[in-house]
Amino acid sequence: MTLPPEESLILVNEQNRKVGTGFKLDVHQRGLLHRAFSIFVFNQSGQLLLQQRAEGKYHSGGLWTNTCCGHPRPGELTVNAARRRLQEEMGFECPLLNVGTLTYHARVSNELIEHEFDYVYVGRYEAEPRPDPNEACAWKWIDLETLNAQLASQPELFTVWFKQIIQQPGAQLHALKERAARAPTATG
C-alpha cells in the first residue's frame, strides 16, 4: 500500500462553499466533506470506460471504478483538475461536460471515509487509453447491460463510490450515457 502524497484538498460545506483545506489522508480518515470530481467516458457504441485501480493504491486497490476520479487543488477550477487527472491517470484528453453535482458519504477500506461534494463529468473518446500503472492496472470498455449484471452479481468487485454515484438521481448509467452522446468525440 502506498500512502498518498501530502496533497491538500478543498474542504467545503453542504452548499459547496470553501471552508478550508486539509491534507488528503487526514481528510479521508476524519470523513470531512471535500470537493471532488468523477468522470464517466463513453465511446460511440455507448460503452463505458472503466479502470481497475492499481493494487498499490492506499484504498480500494484492485477494484473496478469509473473512468477517473480526483480532487481539485486549492485555487484550481474543478473542470481543469478533471482534465489534468484524466490525462495523468488514463493518458488521454477529451472534452468534458459537467452534468451535475452530488454529495455522498461512504466508508472505504482501511477505515477511511469518502465524504465528497462531487462534480460529475461525462465525455466521449474513441481510442485506447494509456493509463499510468501506478493509478490503474487495467481498463475495459463495457456495455451497460453487462456492467449492470456484474454490479448485481459481484458488487464487491467495484468501488463503494462508483456504486453510490450511479444510484443518484440523474447519475444512473443510462442517463450519463445519453448526456455523453451530446459531447464532442476525441479520437486520441
Identify the CATH class of 8-183. alpha beta
The model's pTM: 0.94
Amino acid identity of residue 82, one-letter, is A
SS3 134: coil
What average pLDDT does range 182-186 have in this prediction? 88
Amino acid identity of residue 172, one-letter, is Q
Element (H, E) at 101: strand 97-108
Contacts of 164 (CB under 8 A, 6+ apart): 104, 106
What average pLDDT does range 30-47 have in this prediction? 97
What average pLDDT does range 15-42 have in this prediction? 97
Residue 119 CA from chain centroid, whole number: 9
Band (pLDDT 50/70/90 cuts) for residue 182 is confident
Residue tagged 471515509 (cell numbers): 113
Predicted confidence at residue 4, as pLDDT, reads 55
What average pLDDT does range 69-78 have in this prediction? 97
Catalytic residue list? 69, 116
**Contact yes or no for 48/141 (Cβ under 8 A):** yes
pLDDT digits (tens, 9 = 90+) for 117-133: 999 999 999 999 999 99
Predicted confidence at residue 117, as pLDDT, reads 98
Q: Which of 42, 185, 36, 24 is nearest to 105 (CA)?
A: 36
| C-alpha span between 64 and 134 (Å, rounded) | 15
